[in-house]
Every structure is written in C-alpha cells, then in structure tokens.
Amino acid sequence: MNEIEKLKEIIKSSKRIVFFGGAGVSTESGIPDFRSKDGLYNQKYDYNPEEILSHSFFIDNPEYFYKFYFDKMIYQDIKPNECHKYLAKLEQDNKLLCVITQNIDNLHELAGSKRVIHLHGEVMKNHCMNCNAFYSLDELPRDGVPKCKCGGIIKPDVVLYEEPLKEEDVEMAIEEISKADTLIIGGTSLSVYPAASYVNFFKGDNLIVINRDIIGSVKANLQINASISEVFAKLKD
C-alpha cells in the first residue's frame, strides 16, 4: 500500500480529525512564507521584517508598518488550493473537528471551512485601539495609517512579535487536539513556538505529517514529504 492509499484508509477510519497547518498550506496558493530562500526574511527592506512586524514598531512607526503590511502581507486575489478544499469537504462530512492554522489569511474560510482556529490572528479583522470598533479589511484605506471615526488608530487582529497568542485560541486548539483520533500536520516545520508545542497534547491513534521537508521532531505514523495540495488532490481520486 502506497502513502496516499494508507492516508486514505486512515481518513476513512477516523471520526475526529484535526488539521494543524502552517505557511506551506498558503504558499501553494501563492502567498510567500517568511523563512524560505524566497521568503520575506530574505528580502531587503529598510528594517528587518521581524522588527517591522513587532508591537513596538507598530506603535512607534505605524505608517511604515502599514506600508509594509499592505505591500507584503495582504493578498486578496488568491484562491484556496486543493488542501483547503479537501479539508472543507471533510468538515462537511463530519469527519473534521476543526482546522488550526498559523496563517493569517482566510483561505480556509473561502474554501468553506466553518471551524477554523487562527492562532496568529487574521487579516480580515481589525479593531480600533481606542474604542474597539470593528473594521473589515475592505474598509481600511491603503494609504497612510487607518484611523477610526473616533480618531484612534486601527490595528489588524494579527499577533505581532512581542505579543502573546490569545488565550482563548490556545485553549481551544489544545482542547481540539486532545480530542482528536487523527492529527494531520501540514505545511509546517513545527519550528514556531509556542504553537508547535500544542502537538504534544495529541493522544489519538494516527499522527500524520505532510510537508515538503522531513520533520524529525515528531514520531508520525505516516510522513509524506511532498506538495500538500498535490497530496490532497490525489485523495479525491
């Protein structure tokens, strides 16, 4: 039995699947990651990207932050790939408990997923730092610093460097992982903490890894080193 057939059998026999995804899920839709040779961290800017995407930089230099943010972090014309679509179908079939993602785009939702935990926040949601009024991404102007009607600065609901993850999201992620009988880890090297440590709460039978590079930090029942969208496309065959 080859890897794809084995994965099909595991999914077929599973009743409580959780998918834990990273940047590799979105890169195959055209969103660049941070750490690869073509990623944001290896491009040249006036400041280090990690510094630009920090809480203190946002407070001290919001205009430059937003220039970088809209130029390099917002991709509104992208489409869900086969991974997003297959996971949405699994949820519709009541086999997938939820998607836990480290990505800040809304591709899972665009594909039809309803139960998505965004550990690092999401670009579609924004709030005024003064009155907490909500603003959608489409309501934000693309020049200068977005301001609320009250005059306060609007901040994206994304977790910046120096900021903690939202406790409620962490608790939900750990709870869902601990309930799963199958955990599929996809498109992540499990190098970003604390999110990567949540895998340790898995108590189920099948731990699956789908990633281009080998991940040696987890003992998986099945590890497939290939394009994640191509793997999920083959599951439909």
Active site residues: 120
Q: Can you give 59-127 as a three-state secondary structure string?
A: HHCHHHHHHHHHHHCCCCCCCCCHHHHHHHHHHHCCCEEEEEECCCCCHHHHHCCCCEEECCEEEEEEE
Q: Are 86 and 80 in contact (CB under 8 A)?
A: no
CA 93 vs CA 24, 90, 237: distances in Å: 25, 5, 17
Structure tokens at 97: 């408990």
* Residue (of 236, 196, 179, 201) closest to 14 by Cα position: 179
Give Cβ neighbours of residue 198 (< 8 Å, ≥ 6 apart): 20, 100, 170, 173, 174, 177
H or E stretch including 19? strand 17-21
Q: Is the dihedral of CA 166, 111, 135, 50 positive or negative?
A: positive
How far is 157 from 119, CA to CA, in rounded Å? 11
Q: Give the DSSP letter of residue 182.
A: E
Q: Are 184 and 105 in contact (CB under 8 A)?
A: no
